[in-house]
């Protein structure tokens, strides 16, 4: 009899433990991070584009009204640096991911701690569907760095044009592939990535993302979904389902597709009844394309990616968390891509790594409306391995003249200072435009920002940067 009672109590204990585990899993918010590729600040309706760019974007405009719309969200000038900043919370100069390269060993070393690894350690299911661009070798694939599953491309979308270019030789450059993998496994080739599959890949990424969310909800498991789409990177070609739909050419068709894909993800979150417990972050990781035939727009700002101009650095970013982030909020406070990882730490239950320098800061109080001020005043702007500019408060210093990705950077004999409130196009240099009191002299900004620059440079001596091309295994020198 006593044995039966013990068994009954033990069974109840196991059931209660399972219940608590399930309850804790439900309490952790799901996180969906949707990233567009080279979509400029001025493309969607909420940022002044939409109909003016050839197609309305009703789903994204509605998402903008359902949480916070950031007007001063900042990224890196190139793809690889932006994605490493997002994944690690560290400036790319620290991690050896400062530039886009072709045919060379590159990417995040295994020692780096990614956001996916942090989520996974807290019991989250993790998946990535889309473009990685942080390494195409063993040990540096997404499924080597925290993701349970991955479907997409290792590098960049312009590779889809290789096989149709004049003189292409597959014996020298292998046809690019769409691949899939699970944690720790070698990616398997699914099909060739060419101009035809380039048109359909974002639709596939959407379908696979929805399936992933369904599976995790059924298993009552919190999930982290990283969805880096391939649009609007060149070649900016729409899915055949959207061809001609806008009546305003391929770019309008692409805007319709971008809006529709996001809408499908949001609808799936609603259908799965996890809207209230899901954080959605939608952003672009670079300013607009400048390449002929595919160029986009930065709207209010000037410039394209691969430069340090505001058009390169400021991109759209929308954040929704029902009941936690007030609806209809806009902020012009500085937020940087490195802030995403530490901002999600408390809500997901992970700790920001303490054995390395983390540049990102927790911006959740700003997003929740608990404060109107950002936790940061500025940041350095590296283009490659050189600091091209420093942005601080409403001011910005340029150390190089570099108007286009196709131009050779020329170092200024004297740094150019801009007041971004008075001089948003960064045209007037140290005077920042004229006002009713006469010339707006900004020389005081030089020593103020120089102090910030020296502080940052000191951290590079404290923790020497990882060099691009560093082999595995990497161990820090300090």
Distance CA 212, CA 206 (A): 10
Cα–Cα distance for residue pair 19/14, rounded to 1 Å: 9
Cβ–Cβ < 8 Å for 211, 203 = no
Question: 239: which residues sit within 8 A by CB, 6+ positions away?
Answer: 199, 200, 202, 203, 257
List, in sequence order, every beta strand (DSSP E) within 288-409.
317-320, 329-331, 335-336, 378-383, 386-392, 395-401
Q: Strands (DSSP E) along 109-198, which ranges? A: 125-131, 149-153, 177-182, 188-192
Handedness of CA 215, 217, 223, 229 (dihedral sign): positive
Measured CA to CA, the distance from residue 233 to residue 229 in angstroms comes to: 9
3-state DSSP call for residue 23? helix
Query: What are the residue numbers of the active site?
Result: 79, 133
Cis amide prior to 140 (ω within 30 degrees): no
SS3 for 47? Answer: helix
d(CA 434, CA 459): 37
Q: Which backbone phi and psi does 363 adopt, to 5 degrees?
A: -105, 10
Residues 238, 253 contacting (CB under 8 angstroms): yes
| CB count in 10 Å sphere of residue 315 | 29
């Amino acid at each position: 009899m006593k044995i039966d009672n013990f068994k009954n109590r033990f069974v109840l204990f196991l059931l209660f433990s399972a219940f608590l585990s399930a309850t804790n899993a439900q309490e952790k918010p799901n996180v969906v991070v949707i990233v567009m590729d080279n979509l400029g600040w001025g493309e969607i309706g909420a940022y002044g584009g939409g109909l003016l760019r050839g197609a309305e974007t009703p789903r994204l405009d509605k998402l903008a009204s359902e949480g916070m719309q950031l007007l001063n969200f900042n990224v890196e000038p190139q793809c690889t640096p932006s994605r490493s900043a997002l994944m690690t919370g560290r400036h790319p100069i620290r991690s050896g991911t400062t530039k886009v390269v072709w045919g060379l060993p590159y990417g995040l070393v295994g020692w780096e701690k990614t956001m996916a690894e942090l989520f996974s350690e807290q019991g989250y299911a993790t998946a990535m569907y889309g473009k990685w661009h942080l390494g195409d070798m063993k040990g540096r694939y997404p499924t080597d760095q925290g993701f349970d599953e991955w479907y997409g491309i290792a590098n960049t979308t312009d590779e889809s044009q290789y096989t149709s270019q004049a003189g292409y030789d597959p014996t020298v450059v292998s046809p690019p592939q769409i691949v899939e993998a699970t944690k720790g496994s070698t990616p398997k080739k699914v099909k060739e990535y060419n101009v035809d599959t380039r048109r359909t890949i974002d639709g596939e990424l959407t379908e696979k993302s929805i399936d992933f969310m369904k599976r995790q909800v059924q298993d009552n498991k919190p999930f982290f979904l990283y969805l880096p789409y391939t649009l609007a990177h060149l070649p900016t070609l729409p899915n055949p389902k959207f061809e001609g739909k806008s009546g305003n050419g391929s770019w309008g068709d692409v805007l319709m597709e971008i809006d529709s894909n996001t809408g499908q993800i949001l609808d799936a979150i609603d259908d799965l009844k996890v809207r209230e417990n899901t954080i959605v972050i939608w952003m672009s990781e670079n300013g607009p394309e400048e390449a002929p035939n595919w160029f986009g727009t930065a709207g209010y700002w000037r410039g394209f990616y691969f430069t340090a101009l505001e058009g390169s650095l400021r991109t759209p970013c929308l954040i929704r968390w029902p009941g936690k982030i007030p609806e209809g909020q806009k902020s012009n406070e500085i937020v940087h891509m490195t802030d995403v990882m530490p901002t999600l730490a408390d809500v997901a239950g992970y700790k920001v790594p303490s054995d390395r320098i983390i540049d990102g800061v927790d911006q959740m109080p700003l997003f929740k409306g608990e404060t109107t001020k950002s936790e940061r005043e500025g940041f350095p702007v590296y283009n490659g391995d050189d600091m091209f500019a420093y942005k601080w408060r409403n001011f910005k210093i340029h150390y190089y003249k570099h108007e286009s990705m196709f131009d050779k950077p020329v170092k200024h004999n004297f740094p150019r200072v801009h007041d971004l409130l008075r001089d948003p196009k960064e045209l007037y240099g140290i005077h920042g435009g004229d006002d009713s009191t006469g010339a707006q002299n900004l020389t005081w900004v030089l020593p103020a920002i120089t102090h910030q620059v020296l502080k940052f440079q000191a951290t590079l001596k404290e923790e020497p940067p990882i060099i691009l091309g560093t082999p595995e295994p990497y161990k820090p020198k300090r």
